[in-house]
Structure 1
Amino acid sequence: MTTKTLLESFVDLIIAKSDYQELDRIYLNNRIMNLVGESVKDLTTDKSDLLDLKDELLAQAVKNEKVGATFEEQDCLGAELMNFITPIPSVVNQRFWQTHQADPKKAIADFYALSKENDYIKTKAIAKNIYFKTETQYGDIEITINLSKPEKDPKQIALAKKMKASGYPMCLLCLENEGYQGRINHPARANHRVIRFDLLNKTWGFQYSPYAYFNEHCIFLSSQHEPMSICDETFARLLNIIETFPGYFVGSNADLPIVGGSILTHEHYQGGRHEFAMQKAPIEKAFTFTGFEDVSAGIVKWPMSVLRLRSANKESLLALVSKLLAAWRAYSDESVQVLANSNGEAHHTITPIARMRDGQFELDLVLRDNQTSAKFPDGIYHPHQDVQHIKKENIGLIEVMGLAILPPRLKDEMQVVADYLLGKVASVAQYHQVWADQIKASHPEVNDTNVEEIVQQEIGKVFARVLEDAGVFKRDQKGQEAFMRFVKSVGIND
């Protein structure tokens, strides 16, 4: 077996996986040695995976003082190394749309494969996440404990403080991120590519999420840095997207604080190839709206307040959604603490999700209300205080559909709770204590074999409660009667 150098192995794969040819080998050797140090030409390796080789090159670059020791500095260099196998944006776009003409699904699959292979999608980091399902009355909801994004270390924080403020790119979703080198306080994007497409006569972009939360987690983003807005055009865009990108769902975060996502400053939607629990949830009460008999409608059996509409007639569906959005924005029902606005502030909006089902357009409309009160200063329809030990952040699009994204701290805290249930420790973190005692009281059968599953199931129950807190019309009789009052105010057929 012939032993290869680290440099030779990496260049071999670049040539095999990119537009570079054998004639380019000397050029590639020199460019890579410039990035990581000339000593790399003498090092041997037994690795054959491209990402493993990239990691070895980064380790040598640190030794050669070609890059700093922080994750951010190394990530910038790593992206630059993986840029060697990434075609330039014009080529990526040309190939995508050329393939799309004959086979849209293959075009999407090819771009997804490239985004993984060039390490834009951080497959190694994503694999660290903890994932499990828990059974609830609403179906099997999904739980992720997000361990893929590295936490900031003190060195990175110190370096970031020394940097001059930069307004470029304006945010993480701007097109200007494509090919951006990155810096201590902005992620590396040298290997980032965006597919451009026309959406209702405006240029939009299609890319994947680097730290994906589900299968083929992608982002559709406006080419302009403009704030999120839920309006009639939103729904038309969503339906156009699922036509252009077959097999994907697409949804939008709400456009108001508290009930919106983490980025409200740039218009964007999220999509992918994943079936969430909410999509599987059945219609609980079916009806049709007056004048829209070609649109089937109903209330979904889900902890949040969801209307599901389905039709083959896009224009009719969009007209009904426009009517529903206008009605909800103006609707109040003080008997169940639903208020359209107060003190000049609007409280109502919608989190919409679009997909194709059995050849028809399907829209789920999740009603949102961002009121606060003295009792619930974080939000009346936000995770309440007693469940914030598990989840206190906004309930955005992904979680609305039944996939919890929980903080990294829970990995170790879950183990401490498990040890407490087994009598190995005397207490848990103060904010988990009441919950842990409740688990202990309700699970006298806990043992070494089942403790992990019990803790996971109890986390799932808390997340179901989180979603119930975020539901505007509650799941009790009073709440469901109030939900139907709103539906009837829009006009339904008896």
Structure 2
Amino acid sequence: MSIYTSITQLVNAAIKKQLIQREDEIYARNQVAAALHLQDFVEEPVTEEKSIPDLLEELTQYALDKGIIDDLLDEKEIFGSNVMNIFISKPSEVNQTFYQKYAQSPSLATDYFYQLSQDSNYIQTKRIEKNISYQVETEFGELDITINLSKPEKDPKQIALEKEKAKSNPSVGYPKCLLCVENEGYEGRIGHPARSNHRMIRMELTDEQWFLQYSPYVYYNEHCILLSGEHRDMKIDESAFRRLLTFVEKVPHYFVGSNADLPIVGGSILTHDHYQGGNYEFAMAKAPEEFSFTLNGYADVTGAIVKWPMSVIRLKGKEKESLVEASTFILDSWIKYQDEDVNIHSHTGQTRHNTITPIARQRDGVYEVDLVLRNNRTNAEHPLGIFHPHQDVQHIKKENIGLIEVMGLAVLPARLKEELLEVERYLLNESNELAAYHKEWADQLRETYASTLSKRTVGEIVRKELGMKFLRVLQDAGVFKRDEKGQDGFKRFINSLNQ
């Protein structure tokens, strides 16, 4: 099959996806040919259809073979992104279409933008298919387990080149980070991802310009990112609560939440104010309420402790501003709260430890705000965090427990795909290369399941127990433990709110 056929197939696929119209066919074809340094075009019959990601791979391979680009991940990404940019409308046109559909219904608008983000190959659908995902039933509902295989690994040549370029040109700081609006349409460079095919929706929140986009590597349905137009540190405060509730007012079929704003308990990017949301119901959102309470001065707000391994307060009400004020009151109270009986210290000197991971949603016309209490203190026994995955679960999950994990979705490292196969072989007494840090866990599994281990059952056993490890991760991150002492401490905090 020739390169001309691949180009024709890509143009046809773009027309079928309604990225372009039939009248754009020749223009688009010539633009793709130019990217491949072709000065002519031979029309050839096309007898099959292929997906856009597959066709981009064919074009990228041709560019490699002809020496147009080097065999580096970032150069291949930049090439593919530039090709797809040929088929995508300008941001103004995308926004105009979004809000035309929004006038009919918010869900129609997000459906359009989500589909566009997939069809344009900004959302890496082919790579996402590689992820291992399943659910594990627990006493707190079904936890989502994902082993993330979608992000391609950089080879040593690219890593070395990134270091070399950083040394030779340390002043390059544009865009300032991966979440800045300046990434929209940015070609990319070695060490910074390609974003030529990236589009954002302008959305005003509390008199500020914010931008809606989808994650290139979505972890759940319609996994979106809402980012500030200003490059500033993340901050959980009254304004954050108001923005979260304003967003679910505008987009009522989505939830939205924020990572905590302190190291250890926050997410991976704390230097740019942003939230994450989407059209998905996590286990935490489905978790029942255990203990109800009211707040003095907030008669139209109801509160409850949620049955969840982490420490969650759920507030409900029909008035958005009342929920903002009640959430702010609880945050301010928690920031300075101490209870030595359950090892909670609010500050070390001037260093603050208490904060909140907030999540907002609408349900049947009622606003809900989940406030997950967090503390990032460390000590000699737990140098990575007292309320952080402890040593005995770090062979599975060592990274920060951010918003997505808090709600019940484990995003686990790619290394586990092969490592868990070695655990299975070890359990079956087969030749294996079991990682030393998994051995204690594997021995426990061997003892627990001695009578039921077989080739037929071993995979299910390991998947289930991986889910139980993630449950332990969440329990470690809970500031008020699920035992009697911890729940008594939780109720003391609730009672303190009315004193």
- Range 405-414 or range 99-108, more displaced: 99-108
Question: What is aligned with 2:497?
Answer: 490
RMSD of aligned Cα (Å): 1.8
Please state if 1:421 is matched with 2:427: yes
Distance between the aligned counterparts of 1:321 and 1:215, measured in 2?
27
Deviations 1:326-380 (A, max 9, x none): 1001100011110111121001100000001121000100000010001111000
- Range 405-414 or range 3-12, more displaced: 3-12
Question: What is aligned with 2:205?
Answer: 199
Question: What is aligned with 2:107?
Answer: 105
- Range 45-54 or range 467-476, more displaced: 45-54
Distance between the aligned counterparts of 2:40 and 2:276, measured in 1?
41
Query: What SS does the aligned partner of 1:53 have?
Result: helix
Query: What SS does the aligned partner of 1:111 have?
Result: helix
Distance between the aligned counterparts of 2:200 and 2:226, measured in 1?
9
Task: State the Cα distance separating 1:232 from its structure 2 match.
Answer: 0.5
Please state if 1:370 is matched with 2:372: no
Query: What SS does the aligned partner of 2:86 have?
Result: helix
Question: In 2, are the aligned partners of 1:277 and 1:401 still within 8 Å (CA)?
Answer: yes
Question: What is aligned with 1:29?
Answer: 29
Question: What is aligned with 1:11?
Answer: 11
Query: What SS does the aligned partner of 2:395 have?
Result: coil
Question: What is aligned with 1:307?
Answer: 313
Deviations 1:418-447 (A, max 9, x none): 001111036621100000000000001110
Aligned pairs for 1:92-491 within 5 A: 92-163=94-165, 164-165=169-170, 166-425=172-431, 428-444=434-450, 445-491=452-498
Distance between the aligned counterparts of 1:477 and 1:40, measured in 2?
76
Distance between the aligned counterparts of 1:301 and 1:21, measured in 2?
52
Task: State the Cα distance separating 1:480 from its structure 2 match.
Answer: 0.4
Deviations 1:289-332 (A, max 9, x none): 22223212111111100001111122222221111111001100
Distance between the aligned counterparts of 2:382 and 2:17, measured in 1?
55
Aligned pairs for 1:75-86 within 5 A: 75-86=77-88
Task: State the Cα distance separating 1:54 from its structure 2 match.
Answer: 1.9
Distance between the aligned counterparts of 2:428 and 2:464, measured in 1?
16
> Unaligned stretches of 5+ in structure 2?
none
Task: State the Cα distance separating 1:192 from its structure 2 match.
Answer: 0.1
- Range 186-195 or range 292-301, more displaced: 292-301
Distance between the aligned counterparts of 2:321 and 2:15, measured in 1?
49
Q: Which amino acid aligns with 2:5?
A: T
Distance between the aligned counterparts of 1:417 and 1:19, measured in 2?
46
Distance between the aligned counterparts of 2:110 and 2:491, measured in 1?
40
- Range 219-228 or range 136-145, more displaced: 136-145
Please state if 1:88 is matched with 2:90: yes
Distance between the aligned counterparts of 2:341 and 2:352, measured in 1?
19
Task: State the Cα distance separating 1:44 from its structure 2 match.
Answer: 7.4
Question: What is aligned with 2:50?
Answer: 48
Deviations 1:13-45 (A, max 9, x none): 344545755554443333212212429945876
TM-score by length of 2: 0.95
In structure 2, the CA distance between the partners of 1:24 and 1:215, relative to structure 1 (3 Å rule), is closer
Query: What SS does the aligned partner of 2:103 have?
Result: helix
Aligned pairs for 1:54-65 within 5 A: 54-65=56-67
Question: In 1, are the aligned partners of 2:32 and 2:86 still within 8 Å (CA)?
Answer: no
Distance between the aligned counterparts of 1:92 and 1:144, measured in 2?
32
Q: Which amino acid aligns with 1:251?
A: G
In structure 2, the CA distance between the partners of 1:290 and 1:21, relative to structure 1 (3 Å rule), is closer
Query: What SS does the aligned partner of 1:102 have?
Result: coil
Q: Which amino acid aligns with 2:461?
A: I
Q: Which amino acid aligns with 2:307?
A: K
Question: In 1, are the aligned partners of 2:4 and 2:41 still within 8 Å (CA)?
Answer: no
Distance between the aligned counterparts of 1:137 and 1:348, measured in 2?
27
Deviations 1:184-236 (A, max 9, x none): 20111000000011111110000000001111000000000000000011110
Q: Which amino acid aligns with 1:6?
A: S
Task: State the Cα distance separating 1:52 from its structure 2 match.
Answer: 2.0
Distance between the aligned counterparts of 1:141 and 1:385, measured in 2?
21
Equivalent residues, number: 490
Question: In 2, are the aligned partners of 1:194 and 1:206 still within 8 Å (CA)?
Answer: yes
> Unaligned stretches of 5+ in structure 1?
none
Question: In 2, are the aligned partners of 1:37 and 1:60 still within 8 Å (CA)?
Answer: no
Q: Which amino acid aligns with 2:385?
A: G
Q: Which amino acid aligns with 1:321?
A: S
- Range 99-108 or range 173-182, more displaced: 99-108
Question: What is aligned with 1:74?
Answer: 76
Distance between the aligned counterparts of 1:285 and 1:40, measured in 2?
72
Query: What SS does the aligned partner of 1:363 have?
Result: strand
Task: State the Cα distance separating 1:56 from its structure 2 match.
Answer: 1.2
Q: Which amino acid aligns with 2:139?
A: Q
In structure 2, the CA distance between the partners of 1:427 and 1:148, relative to structure 1 (3 Å rule), is closer
Distance between the aligned counterparts of 1:465 and 1:21, measured in 2?
52
